[in-house]
Amino acid sequence: MAKDKPKLPDQVPQHIAIIMDGNGRWAKQRGLPRLAGHRAGTDNLRRIIEACVEFGVKYLTIYAFSTENWGRPEDEVSGLMSIFDEVFERELTELHRQGVQLRHLGRLEGLRESLREKVRNGLELTKNNNRLVLNVAFNYGGRDEIVHAIKSMLKESMAPGAVTEDLVSRYLYTSGIPDPDLVIRTSGEQRISNFLIWQAAYAEWVFPETLWPDFGREELLAAIQEFGRRERRFGLILEH
Ligand code: IPE
Ligand code: IPE
Ligand code: MG
């Protein structure tokens, strides 16, 4: 089916970050196991990546697994690891073909070796692509990221006077990536859940009710249009 030409605002967010929430509820509504929801959620990613390319978004960050998610039941955690492993393997060539540069936000330690190896290869393969930068926050926590940055600075015997906001940003996993302009959390939940707590300081937020596996191109477009209606002030007073 031909897609309608999207009505994009003058300002399309350069960087969109998404808390992909609601997979479990999506499965429950259908009487399916939670992992079926996670599968549907990962399948949904493909259309969102394509839509981001279509709309001219340059950076997409997705929250796939938090440092707190390790506390879920063992079968859900191992199921999520297997899904991620499979999806990485299956989608990598296509992502590369589409010109997507993959980046990982979070710690590789703690993941099984086969997965670590796949992630390293994927980052290496796609590092020169520039159509869309896809940051995958996996085994990611915002507080963990800041602790990691502080430790790195201390190890390098950084002088206190040298520590600035710019410098801290450079020690985060998102080093070199502009802050998100728009953060979307699906499923109606309205909280940050340890996601980009430094970087989203001045992001605009939207909270669509749609559960992540059902969140498609039209919903993404609606979020971008909502962003276009916002007035970002960054603490200033704007003249009209
Ligand atoms: C988000 O969906 C995906 C992960 C946290 C891995 P959830 O699994 O949190 O789904 P709900 O919130 O239980 O519906
Ligand atoms: C945030 O969702 C993590 C991801 C989407 C990966 P959660 O479902 O884990 O967050 P809480 O527990 O509802 O805050
Ligand atoms: Mg959830």
| Confidence category of residue 1, pLDDT binned at 50, 70, 90 | low
The two beta strands, 132-140 and 100-105, are parallel
Whether residue 46 lies inside any domain: the answer is yes
Whether residue 205 lies inside any domain: the answer is yes
Query: Tell me: the pLDDT tens digits for 164-175?
Result: 999 999 999 999
Sign of the four-CA dihedral 28, 32, 33, 35: negative
Active site residue 69: yes
Given a contact cutoff of 8 angstroms between Cβ atoms, the answer to whether 100 and 132 are in contact is yes
> Per the structure, how many domains does the chain have?
1
DSSP-assigned letters across all residues of 68-101: GGGGS-HHHHHHHHHHHHHHHHHHHHHHHHTTEE
The amino acid sitting at 48 is I
Helix (H, G, I), strand (E, B) or coil at 58: coil
Residues whose beta carbon lies within 6 Å of some atom of ligand 1: 20-25, 65, 69, 80, 187
Helix (H, G, I), strand (E, B) or coil at 132: strand
Ligand 2, residue 191: give the atom nearest the CA: 14
DSSP-assigned letters across all residues of 179-216: PPSEEEE-TT----TTSSTTTTTT-EEE--SS-GGG--
pTM for this prediction: 0.97
The two beta strands, 15-19 and 182-185, are parallel
- Rounded Cα distance between 70 and 65, Å, is 8
- Rounded Cα distance between 197 and 85, Å, is 27
Q: Which two tokens stand for residue 238?
A: 């704007």
Whether residue 38 lies inside any domain: the answer is yes
Per annotation, catalytic residue among 44, 69, 128, 130? 69
Whether residue 19 lies inside any domain: the answer is yes
Whether residue 20 lies inside any domain: the answer is yes
| Confidence category of residue 120, pLDDT binned at 50, 70, 90 | very high
Among all ligands shown, which has an atom nearest to the Cα of 65?
A: 2
Ligand 2, residue 21: give the atom nearest the CA: 5
N-to-C CA span, the chain: 42
Whether residue 196 lies inside any domain: the answer is yes
Q: Which distant-in-sequence residues (6+ apart) come within 8 Å of 237 by Cβ?
A: none
Whether residue 102 lies inside any domain: the answer is yes
| Confidence category of residue 4, pLDDT binned at 50, 70, 90 | confident
Query: Tell me: the pLDDT tens digits for 196-230?
Result: 999 999 999 999 999 999 999 999 999 999 999 99
Determine the structural domain holding residue 102 and report its residue range. Answer: 15-141+180-229
Query: Does the pLDDT value for residue 140 go beyond 80?
Result: yes
CATH number at residue 126: 3.40.1180.10
Q: Which of 82, 71, 127 lies closest to 104 in space, CA to CA?
A: 127
For range 17-25, the mean pLDDT? 98
> CA-based Rg of the chain, rounded to a whole angstrom?
18
Residue 2 CB: number of other CB atoms within 10 A? 4
